[in-house]
Every structure is written in structure tokens, then in C-alpha cells.
Amino acid sequence: MGDCESVAPQLEGEENLIAAAKHIVRALGSNKNLTKDVKKILADLGSQLSTMATIDDEGVEGLKSGIEEHLSVVEEKIMSWETDESMIWDSSPDEAFEYLSAVDEARKLIQGLENRCLNGEDEKELLRRAHDVLQLAMQRLEEEFKYLLVQHRQPFEPEHMSFRSSEDDGVDVGLMVSFGDESFEESARRDSVSRTSEECIIDLVHPDVIHDLKCIANSMFMSNYDHECRQAYVIVRKDALDECLFDLEIEKFSIEDVLKMEWGTLNSKIKRWVRAMKVFVRRYLASEKWLCDQIFSELGLANFVCFVEAAKAPMLQLLNFAEAISIGPHQPEKLVRFLDMYEVLADLLLDIDALFPDEAGSSVKVEYHEVLKRLADSVRATLVEFKNAVATNTSTNPFAGGGIHHLTRYVMNYLRLLVDYKDTLNLLLKNDRSVPVLLSPDSSPSTEDESTSNDFSGGVSAMTLHLQSLTSILEANLHEKSKLYRDASLQHFFLMNNIHYMAQKVKNSELRVIFGDKWIRKHNWKFQQHAMDYERATWSTILSFLKDESNSSNSSISRTLLKERLRSFYVAFEEVYRTQTAWLIPDVQLREDLRISTSLKVIQAYRTFVGRQMYHIGEKHIRYNAEEMQDYLLDLFEGSQKSLHNPHRR
């Protein structure tokens, strides 16, 4: 049995050749000048051509019969599986090969019949039958294609990504508390994902069936059922991508759902989104693109179209969440999460441009760039909100004990976190006019000490300016809070504590690179100045009672006056003890330094006074010896109020 594609055109060509030859013979025979011999030859030739035409007509009838027989064989093979509920590719490789061969024969029969001039009803009926057979075969191949994709799907296991163990839907306490809580630092630390775990192509479908899938796709495309093939692929793989998001614990939320969420819950969702985004794009989408390339690589742009159609909805789901975050309120506690989301999208930008390069993927790419821009705007807007929140944070009562205010801890820990985002913040804040920069005189750009915080152009970096602006705003606020204390010594004590905390936070962290040594020296000088002002305000009047106003032991000052001055000293000292044991210096070193400095002044003056005036005063009026006084001074600044109860008190 001959091949339909080659036999039919061959017979048609022979018919045309015979007709042309007969025409030539008739034209030559009409010439009256021909000899009898030539006319006889032409007559014989015409007779032979007529005989050949008759034989050809018989050949055509034979060809029709052959095509019908061929079609019946193909039809029988394809129809045999219509009553069989089992899957062809589960039976045997030989069965699958034979079925594809039958499909190929059906396609060739249709092409051969369509290339002929179909005048008779018999030929048209053959063509209709062939089309019906091919359509049944395509429906079966579509089912087999889906079956192989589903049945041989490989489980997706995001290694090194312990989402459930580290990220329950519990509340992130540090970010839920009121503005100014010191616990912000630990709870808001940025999350990181191993890049090694992100960039690994995995087999989403078992490699053993890739060849079978490719053969089915090629057959469907060659039979002009490419749309059905692509649709089948997209339906199955979109479900797989949705399941991947489920495995990564990414839920589907509307923008309204996100905007209504409590911050503690939303914070947990954002951290999970950040971790999942890299894995989904770099591992899963890259692997999905690889799968498309393997199956559709020989079919033009089909690989790209199938990938985009399958990946579009899951990607837009992820971007929809980010968009909802960006248009929500810009509270200060959200800044780190905004930065996390911005950085992960910026980091994946080249991946997205590579995965969605052409017009078919433009909607995903355009939305991606738009969300990235909105998150950048959110970062800048949140910085403005943060500065405003620091500037307008007011108190109606003085901070108990003169210790480190919650606002100071919050702001400095906040700034420490921002160091991790130095490059991103410099990029987003550079040439940005929307965030006002308010600098104190000591925070102006300077010299070699701050060279580490300079950018490549030699100027102070945008981030340095903004963080120094924040500390200037914080200091101004602390000065206002200090005015709530009626006691001048407690005002200086409060400022000493808080500025010392700021200086130490900068000195002992990565902030040192941003602020520079000059800023640290300036603030060390500031808190030391407040420490001296505290000592002066607390002890100057008290120590004046012990002032030696004579040049010899034969002072003309009356004994009564000396006793009164000593008694006044004791009363003042005991009041300081009662009051300032309740004051708090959290930093151990600063507490010891201030105790030593105070002790040197007080004990020296006390020893000198008692040593010179003991004769005039009398031992019974001495309540405490120098060692006791020194021990009492060591009780100061512990944050626990105490009182002196001396049995010898007069």
C-alpha cells in the first residue's frame, strides 16, 4: 500500500502530462504538409495516449479503494482505545508508539485527500471520516497528556525552608507594642534565605515521561490542535503552581482582606511572603520554564506562551499582596517589612525580566515594576512618618527614675536595624526631596572620621544624613521631656542617661560606620557634660555645708554653727540618698563612673571637715564615718528607693 502523500500527487501529475501530450499530437496532426508516414506515427501515438488515459482512470479508482482501506485500518486502531478505560501510556511503550503512528497516518491521509480535487461524494466522505478519526485521536491524546502531567508530577519540597516551625500565625509581640518599645530590635530582625536553596532547577515532572509528553505535543501541534494542547498544559500546571504556593503557605487574599488585618498577623504573612517569593521565582518558576522548554522546544513560541499562561495568575496573586501592603498605612513599625519586600523584588528583577521577556509576559512584568515602585514610595513615606512620630511623641509625666526612655531605646534599635538595608536606603533616598533632612550643628558632614559613611562621590551618604536627622529630632524631644522634671539635677541625669545610651549604641554597632567617630566624640562630650551638671546641681549646695571657711583650727566660727552646718549636711545627704537610690542608671559602667566621681568629691570633703572640726563638734554629733558614707553612695542609682535609719541620729 503506497503512501497517500506521495501517490496522489504523482497520479495527478501523470494525468496532466498525458493531457498535454494529446494536445500536442492534435496540434501537429492539423498540419496539412505532413507526409503519410508522419501522420500514421501521430495517429498511433494518439491511440496509445488514449489507452494510457483509460488505464489511469482505472488507477484512480484503485487509489480510492486503497485510501479507504488504509483509513479503515487507522480508524480501527484509534477506535479500539475508545472503549478501553485504561490509559495508553500505562499499557506499554509499543502500544503508545502504535497509537501515535496511527494518528500520524490519519493526519497524512487528510493532507493527501485535501491536496486532491475532491469532486465525488465518495472522496468527500473519506475526508469527513478521516477528520472524525483524527478528532477522536486528539481528544484521547489530550487526556493522555493531562494524565502524564498529573500522574508523574514530582512533589515540591522546599528544602531548608522550615516555614511552619519558624513562622506560625502567632503575633509578633515586638512589632505590636506601642511606639517606643525597646523590644522592637529583636523581634524585627530581617529574614534571610539561603541563596543556594533558591537557585536549583528541579524536575517538576518525572524525567522518564518527558519524551512521551514531547511526542504527544508534537503530534497535536502537527495536527493543528496546538490550542488544545497548550490549554491542557496550562490547566494542569497552573493547578501545580497554585499547590506550590499552598506548600509555601501563601494564602490568597484580596486587597481589602489585607488592609483589614491586624499588624501582628500581617507581619507574619509578610515575612512568609518574603521567604516564599525567592523560592517560588528562582526555584519553581525557573523549573517550570525548564519543563516548558523540554516539552515544547521544537514548537516555536509555544514553550514561552504555555509558561506565561500557567505562571501569570500565581505571580499576580503574589504581587497583589505586595500591592495591598504598599497602599496600606505607613506606620513606623512597617518600615523594615517594606524594605524586606522591596529588596526581594529588586533582587528578583533580572529573573522576572528573563522569565517574562516578550509581549506575552508584559502584563506580569509591568505589574511587577509598578509594585516595586510603590514599595519604594512606601519606604520613603514611612521614613517621613517615623520622623514625625519621633518629633511629636509627647509625655505628660516625667519618666520615672530618670532612666533611658522607651523612645530612645526604640529609635536607636530601629536605626540599628536600618543598617542592614544601607545600600537599599542610599538608593531610595538619594536625590529624594520628599523626606526633610533636619540636622543639628554637630551632625554636619565632616572629615576623615566619617569617611566610612561617605558615598562614592565623596559626599555624605543619603542614609547618613537621614539617620543623623533622626537622632537630632530624638535629642530635641528628649530635651523637651527633661523639662517635665522639677529637679534640675534630675533633668541633667535623664539627659546623661539617654545621650550616653545613644552614643554607646552607635559606638558598639554597625551604626559607627554610618555616623562616624566625630559624632560619637561629640555625644560622649554631651553626656559627660550632663553628668558634671548633675553633680553640680546635686552636690554643690550640700558640700557647701562642709566648706572650710577658716585658715586654722582656732576658727572663730562658733561650735553651734558648725554643728548646724553638719546637721544640715546630714539632712541633705539623707534626702539625696532617699531620692537618688530610686534613680536608675541602667549602664553598669556609667553607674560606677558616676558613683566614683561623686564619692571622690563627697568623701574627701566630709573627711576633711570632720577631721578638722571634730574637736569643736564632738564625736556624738558624727552620724556616719567616711566608710559608711562611701557605702551609702554605692547604693545610689539602683532604681530602688531606700532610707537611712541611723541609731545615733540627733
Would you list the DSSP string of 447-472?
A: TGGGGGGB-TTSSBPHHHHHHHHHHH
Q: What is the pLDDT of residue 188?
A: 53
In-domain check, residue 212: yes
Residues 232 and 293 grouped into a single domain: yes
3-state secondary structure of 547: coil
Cell of 365: 512584568
pLDDT tens-digit map of 494-535: 999 999 999 999 999 999 999 999 999 999 999 999 999 999
Match 493531457 to its residue by C-alpha cell. Answer: 19
Residues 610 and 497 grouped into a single domain: no
Regions of the chain with pLDDT less than 50: 1-9, 11, 53-59, 160-178, 185-187, 192-198, 434-458, 551-556, 647-650
Residues 213 and 358 grouped into a single domain: yes
- Number of domains observed in the structure of the chain: 5
Residues 37 and 140 grouped into a single domain: no
> CA-CA distance, 330 to 382, in Å (whole number)?
5
Q: What is the pLDDT of residue 392?
A: 94
Question: 428-435 — which CB contacts under 8 Å span 24+ positions?
Answer: 428/342, 428/376, 428/379, 428/380, 429/380, 429/383, 429/462, 429/463, 429/465, 429/466, 430/462, 431/462, 432/380, 432/462, 434/380, 434/381, 434/384, 435/380, 435/383, 435/384, 435/387, 435/466
Domain that holds residue 263: 207-371
> CA-CA distance, 415 to 410, in Å (whole number)?
9
**Helices and strands in the chain: count of H runs, count of E runs:** 27, 0
* 377-389 residues labelled b (16+ CB within 10 A) or e (exposed): bbbbbbbebbbeb
Q: What is the pLDDT of residue 619?
A: 80
Contact criterion met (CB below 8 Å) for 380 and 429: yes
> CA-CA distance, 109 to 127, in Å (whole number)?
8
Cell of 507: 559606638
In-domain check, residue 505: yes
Residues 355 and 424 grouped into a single domain: no
Contact criterion met (CB below 8 Å) for 342 and 427: no
In-domain check, residue 444: no
DSSP codes of every residue in 106-147: HHHHHHHHHHS---SHHHHHHHHHHHHHHHHHHHHHHHHHHH
What's the per-residue H, E or C state across 287-320? HHHHHHHHHHCCCCCHHHHHHHHHHHHHHHHHHH
Residues 406 and 340 grouped into a single domain: no
Nearest to 221, CA basis, from 311, 107, 54, 390: 107
Q: What is the pLDDT of residue 37?
A: 61
Residues 520 and 564 grouped into a single domain: no
Residues 6 or more apart whose CB falls under 8 angstroms from that of 159 comprise: 197
Match 478501553 to its residue by C-alpha cell. Answer: 84
Residues 420 and 477 grouped into a single domain: yes
Cell of 491: 533633668
Nearest to 282, CA basis, from 255, 309, 248: 248
Residues 592 and 534 grouped into a single domain: no
How many CB atoms sit inside 10 A of residue 325's CB?
24
In-domain check, residue 422: yes
Residues 591 and 527 grouped into a single domain: no
Residues 518 and 411 grouped into a single domain: yes
Q: What is the pLDDT of residue 647?
A: 44
Give the helix, strand, coil percentages of the chain, each rounded to 5: 75, 0, 25
Q: What is the pLDDT of residue 114?
A: 73
CA atoms within 13 A on the CB side of 154: 17
> CA-CA distance, 118 to 125, in Å (whole number)?
10
In-domain check, residue 384: no
In-domain check, residue 649: no
Contact criterion met (CB below 8 Å) for 297 and 303: yes
Strand partners, 460: 454
Q: What is the pLDDT of residue 68?
A: 73
Write the burial class of residue 260 (CB in 10 Å: 0-12 exposed, 13-18 middle, 19+ buried): exposed
Residues 129 and 27 grouped into a single domain: no
In-domain check, residue 174: no
Q: What is the pLDDT of residue 234?
A: 94
In-domain check, residue 641: no
